[in-house]
A and B are shown apart, each in its own frame.
Chain A
């Protein structure tokens, strides 16, 4: 029972990160009908910026801020310099270009930093605190929950309570009408990319200290898991992404706890296959589901 409780809490903490990353995917999907397959590579690039800044200044938090800033900037640059130039008539094109970005970003990171695992520092202890003899959450888990919670709340606030959020929603929902009403649709799309990439960078900062360390390919499996989470919740639904992320986190925690960590990719594939075959619109799909 203790083990189950521990795995559940660990899974929720892991799931919070997947939720954040899935949220980043959903943001871009809603803004431009693109699944950003380069999200993982872009997030790793931001994490490497944090590594450099932390190494130069000795401060974790300066690095953390630098990663978020780098994430925002990278998202905007990718949209303006690459994605906007792509012919969007075939849905394959943006996917292929994003995969090209994956190769390019990972190769550049490998050239600059090398393909070895670099140590990634966690700002808080990762040893679980015990309550009444049972190991529960570590301070780091609490930090993860708090950060993802704050980011989620901030996104909700931006999209529902601010003028710029309204413009972003309008630009995604009805680009032509919004343009007539004076909304800078292209700018809103770029802003959406920047926000999503920033959230992705944050997720990478949270997840990398829990794994083997910093590596150009560190986010590949996280990306697949987060994509599964986003599909589980329905690619169109931000609350769905959060629920999907927590669900995937729980599943993977149980699988690695009871069956072995090597089975994680298999479990992700099985879950993704099941969701796509049984309920391709996701758990939270509206009635007029999008054909996938």
Chain B
């Protein structure tokens, strides 16, 4: 394995002049980047007000799901419209586990880690079931099947309302921030810390996976299944693995959302959420984790932006409400179409092109 890793880093150094001289193993490099980001978030969390902290935490939760989806769709070439449903699986599992803890009088904050892990694992199981079916399907068939999965969520919560409490959903009891942080410590800042740590761990795992043997098999399967099979890759197994990993990330993302909102209801996990996740990864740039970050950021920023935009005009309350609910969807939809037609690489693709153009203009040797 170390030989492979060395080969990969040699290749990376050869491709990217900026990385020349860096011979750290991939894992260490990813951990260093993650630690840097964590430090940055820590500092930022003290500068921002509570609402912005909460929004940033929501970005982190979405980032789990979009990163998982971009691994599946961008790297392995499988389209999923069911990731909203997988997020719902994670969110509901977390709610059920937290409620079970609360009923038994267990309120320690550390138990949240257990709940998050259980939520991710439960989603992994659901993902494996869907993934085994999905591994035999291509393109529109897979999209149709996962679409049906997405549509089922509200029906399931209503049918088994003894467990899921129907349209109303469940409350999620979450322990407050540790007392050691002081009694006036804002809850939103604590939420941001929790979400950031969980998301960074998930991202480090995914980033290592992308650069590992599995990541290369994913790309091989995406680009040419026959060639991949000839190279000794078990195509169906690879696709199931991709689906399972992606499902686990989505489940963790959903569980984090439940922790942030302190409640779960089927309305939050409808088909629109699945479509939004797909839009986010495509607009951000398919197959790149940085693109997933752009997408997650857009998912939170766009509704906020349209809200302030509609506030600029003086509208009747009814018209304002219509506009506010639907404008983000319209912008997302039209941006998606435009991106697919004009810039299939998304935001991250445009950025890399810009960087490459600048490098060509000012070569590293002269600057």
A107 to B329, CA, bound (A): 6
| Given A96-B282, A292-B136, CB of A228 within 8 Å of CB of B158 | no
How many inter-chain residue pairs (CB < 8 Å) link A and B?
153
Is A92 within 8 A of B77, CB to CB? Answer: yes
| Given A104-B333, A111-B327, CB of A272 within 8 Å of CB of B136 | no
| B225 → A minimal CB distance (Å) | 9
| Given A231-B141, A265-B151, CB of A111 within 8 Å of CB of B159 | no
Nearest residue (CB) in B for A259 is B159
Is A96 within 8 A of B330, CB to CB? Answer: no
Is A91 within 8 A of B159, CB to CB? Answer: no
Q: Is A114 an interface residue (CB 8 A)?
A: yes
| A290 → B minimal CB distance (Å) | 9
Chain A residues 272-289 with CB under 8 Å of chain B are 272-273, 276-277, 280
| B321 → A minimal CB distance (Å) | 9
Q: Is B39 an interface residue (CB 8 A)?
A: no
| B144 → A minimal CB distance (Å) | 5
Is B159 within 8 A of A262, CB to CB? Answer: yes
Q: Is B143 an interface residue (CB 8 A)?
A: yes
**Please, which residues of chain A bring their CB within 8 A of the CB of B282?**
96
Choose the segment among A42-50, A65-73, A161-169, A219-227 that binds chain B (4+ C-beta atoms closer than 8 Å).
A219-227
Interface size class, chain B: 35 or more
Is B341 within 8 A of A291, CB to CB? Answer: no
A110 to B327, CA, bound (A): 9
Secondary structure call for the A interface = helix
**Please, which residues of chain A bring their CB within 8 A of the CB of B155?**
262-266
Is B136 within 8 A of A86, CB to CB? Answer: no
Is B151 within 8 A of A221, CB to CB? Answer: yes
Is A96 within 8 A of B136, CB to CB? Answer: no
Is B325 within 8 A of A224, CB to CB? Answer: no
Chain B residues 120-156 with CB under 8 Å of chain A are 133, 136-141, 143-145, 147-149, 151-152, 154-156
B interface vs A, CB < 8 Å? Answer: 73, 77, 79, 81, 133, 136-141, 143-145, 147-149, 151-152, 154-156, 158-159, 271-272, 275, 278-279, 282, 318, 322-323, 325-330, 332-337, 340-341, 344
